[in-house]
Homo-oligomer: A and B are copies of this chain.
Amino acid sequence: MGCNTHTRTFKNAVYDHLATVGKALSSSTRLEILEVLAQAPRTVDSIAAEVDQSVANTSQHLQKLKKARLVTGRRDGLYVIYSLSGEDVVELLDKLNRVADEHIKELEELATEFFGERDGLEAVDHHTLLERIKDGTAVLIDVRPEEEYDAGHLPGALSIPVDELEAHIESLPTDRTIVAYCRGPYCAWSAEAVNQLRARGYDARRADVSAPFWKAGDQT
Q: A14-B186, A69-B104 are in contact. List 19 more A-B contacts (CB 8 A).
A: A3-B188, A4-B52, A6-B188, A11-B186, A15-B29, A19-B28, A21-B25, A21-B96, A21-B99, A22-B26, A22-B31, A23-B26, A69-B100, A69-B103, A89-B99, A91-B99, A92-B95, A92-B96, A95-B95
Contact B19–A70 (Cβ < 8 Å) = no
What is the minimal beta-carbon distance from A95 to any residue of chain B, in angstroms?
5
Contact with B along A76-107 (1 / 0, CB 8 A): 00000000011011011001111110111011
Which of the residues B102, B104, B107, B162 comes within 8 Å of A86, measured between beta carbons? Answer: B102
Q: What are 17 A-B pairs at a CB distance below 8 A?
A: A1-B163, A10-B188, A11-B32, A14-B110, A15-B32, A17-B100, A17-B104, A17-B110, A19-B25, A19-B28, A22-B26, A23-B26, A68-B104, A69-B103, A70-B99, A86-B102, A92-B96
Contact A88–B96 (Cβ < 8 Å) = no
Contact with B along A30-54 (1 / 0, CB 8 A): 1110000000000000000000100
Please, which residues of chain B bring their CB within 8 A of the CB of A163?
1-2
Interface of A is mostly: helix
Number of interface residues of A (CB under 8 A): 60
What is the minimal beta-carbon distance from A33 to any residue of chain B, in angstroms?
10
A interface residue numbers (CB < 8 A to B):
1-4, 6-8, 10-32, 52, 68-70, 85-86, 88-89, 91-92, 95-100, 102-104, 106-107, 110, 114, 145, 162-163, 186, 188-189, 192
